Amino acid sequence: MLHSERGSALGYFLAALLGVIVGGVLISLPHGPLATLIRRGAPAVVAPNTEPAVTPTAQVGGQPGAPAGSITETVRRIGPAVVSIKTRVVSERRDIPEVFREFFGDEGHPMPQEGQGSGMIISAEKGYVLTNTHVVKDARIIKVTLPDKRTFDGKLVGADTQSDLAVVRIPAQNLPEVRLAAGAPLSIGSWVVAIGNPFGYANTVTVGVVSATEREIQPQGGPALERLIQTDAAINPGNSGGPLCNLDGEVIGINTAILSVAQGIGFAISSGHARGIADQLIEQGKVVRPWIGIEYRQVTPELREYFGLPMDEGVVVQQVMSGSPAARAGLQRGDLIVEIDRAPVKELTDLRNVILKRKVGDSISLLIYRGREQKVIKLHTAEMPQGIQ
């Protein structure tokens, strides 16, 4: 299931937090150019520009053994399971003009690039490490280092581009591990702690608050990341894949992106979402999603007039994928979807969220308008093909 239009692009640029891939042979620098994300849609709440002051008596335990609910206790619980991930990717040097490549030995000799990020151990006995896909993407070598300085060769278990989550396994047991929060609703203003390895500074701790929830960002050339936690805890390149924690010592999010042109606007994938993705990656090496095979957009007055539609609510089918469930069921470009399984479809998310809650093979009923004629289209979901965003 696809959609292509989410509002006008506002030109906001966000930096993916891998931020540590550096071109060149055997270069090992702690930081490098940042990848770019573009936020679509109007911004709502903006995080404060400065980190909030921490009230020592209420929030910070000053000595070892600080009471539960303190920042120091949270770091004591989570910190030992936060790892540094270093990768080596071999890719072609595209910055050398074709006419000069033979002089640089580029033909047949791709250039190694090194990168680093963060991760967290989610299984003490099996050695599973949760991180971001963009941290380990295309890596030939993955090195995982624990805070106690032990280093292991990591093996990629599975990576999901759509959610930007990946699982790596290390050959070790009896490890420290984090506890992922069950996904209870977060209160805006709740204190949070970020732990990671920004610019190679291992186990850096920063503090902030939950600035907003249910955020959405659109990476340039990539799938939208949805239902994100926004925080003003300082996160930087290299924090990717590290935990965002509450003061109960639980991981509530996986730090993933920052707004590079601002201060104190960062985004984390919620642990409730990450838990299900991680389970699928561990069990089957991929994420199985239901799919009907259409691209669609919000209806506009112009689309209503063009396709002769009777109303201004719903989503308009832009494209039907060949061989998809929607194609087999007879759905067409220009159809206006107004209900799915008797639930109204007013926004893009109304259709998407219902489909994603179904299982592969489930029956779905769509109420549509084709022009001014009302129709019911019945179909069965299929597994979303790999590589579709």
* CA 251, 253, 256, 259 torsion-angle sign: negative
- Cα 274 → chain centroid: 9
Task: Name residues whose C-beta falls within 8 Å of residue 77's C-beta, 6 or more positions apart in sequence.
Answer: 249
Active site residue 164: yes
Active site residue 322: no
CA 301 – CA 311 distance, rounded (Å): 9
Catalytic-labelled residue, pool 70, 118, 163, 240: 240
CA 267 – CA 259 distance, rounded (Å): 8
Catalytic-labelled residue, pool 70, 118, 134, 232: 134
Catalytic-labelled residue, pool 3, 163, 164, 335: 164
Given its phi and psi angles, is residue 26 left (phi above 0), alpha (psi -120 to 50 degrees) or beta?
A: left
Sequence-distant contacts of 362-368: CB under 8 A, at least 24 apart? 362/290, 364/292, 364/340, 365/340, 365/341, 366/331, 366/337, 366/339, 366/340, 367/337, 367/338, 367/339, 367/340, 367/342, 368/331, 368/335, 368/336, 368/337, 368/338
Active site residue 134: yes
Please name which of 258, 281, 256 lies closest in space to residue 268, comparing C-alpha atoms: 256
- Supply the residues annotated as catalytic: 134, 164, 240
